[in-house]
Amino acid sequence: MSDKLIIDNCSPTLAGIKTGNLFSVKYTDETDINRELSELNRKLRKKGLRVIPLKKTDGYALIYLYRPGHLKRDLTDPLAKKILKNRGYDTGNPESLIVQLVKHLREENMFPHEIGLFLGYPPSDVECFMKHPCKGVKCCGCWKAYSEPEKARTVFGKYKKCTEVYREMYKKGKSLAQLAVITGLSAG
Domain ranges of the chain: 3-175
Question: Beta-carbon neighbour count of residue 10 at 10 Å?
Answer: 27
With CA atoms as reference, report the closest residue to 3 among 142, 120, 159, 174.
174
What pLDDT was estimated at residue 185?
Answer: 63
Phi, psi of 63 (to 5 degrees): -105, 140
What is the model's pTM? Answer: 0.92
What pLDDT was estimated at residue 143?
Answer: 93
Give the integer Cα–Cα distance in Å for 44 and 46: 6
| Low-confidence stretches of the chain (pLDDT beneath 70) | 185-188
Contacts of 130 (CB under 8 A, 6+ apart): 83, 113, 114
| Alpha helix stretches (DSSP H) within 113-187 | 115-118, 123-131, 149-171, 176-179
What pLDDT was estimated at residue 94?
Answer: 87
What pLDDT was estimated at residue 182?
Answer: 87
What pLDDT was estimated at residue 91?
Answer: 75
